[in-house]
């Protein structure tokens, strides 16, 4: 029913494949237009509006190391470094 198509990105000019599976997905969602950008350009466009996230430094409640978090740490709640946070998530 659907066959892979090679399209040209309107931003970078590179060719990319619009797969049969992607075409089926577009049809299911009711999209009528084919994609105009390759995945890299779509991702870049999507992320262009997002500003750089401010990170705050705290002390990890588990190991005592530096914890960089996207919120301002408060004394009433513990913060964890990436490694300790991942370990805690695995245990749950």
Q: Which of 45, 44, 70 is nearest to 57 (CA)?
A: 70
Terminal-to-terminal C-alpha distance of the chain? 45
Indicate the Cα dihedral angle 52, 53, 54, 56, nearest 10°: -140
**Domain residues of the chain, as ranges?**
5-48, 56-91
Give the model's pLDDT for residue 50. 75
Give the model's pLDDT for residue 74. 86
Ranges of residues in the chain whose predicted pLDDT is under 50: none
Give the model's pLDDT for residue 10. 96
pTM of the model: 0.53
CB 22, CB 7: distance < 8 Å: no
Give the model's pLDDT for residue 56. 93
């Amino acid at each position: 029913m659907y066959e892979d198509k090679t399209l040209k990105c309107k931003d970078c000019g590179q060719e990319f494949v619009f797969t049969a599976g992607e075409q089926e997905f577009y049809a299911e969602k009711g999209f009528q237009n084919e994609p105009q950008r390759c995945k890299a350009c779509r991702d870049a466009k999507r992320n262009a509006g997002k500003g750089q996230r401010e990170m705050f430094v705290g002390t990890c409640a588990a190991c005592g190391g530096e914890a960089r978090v996207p919120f301002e740490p408060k004394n009433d709640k513990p913060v964890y470094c990436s490694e300790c946070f991942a370990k805690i998530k695995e245990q749950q």
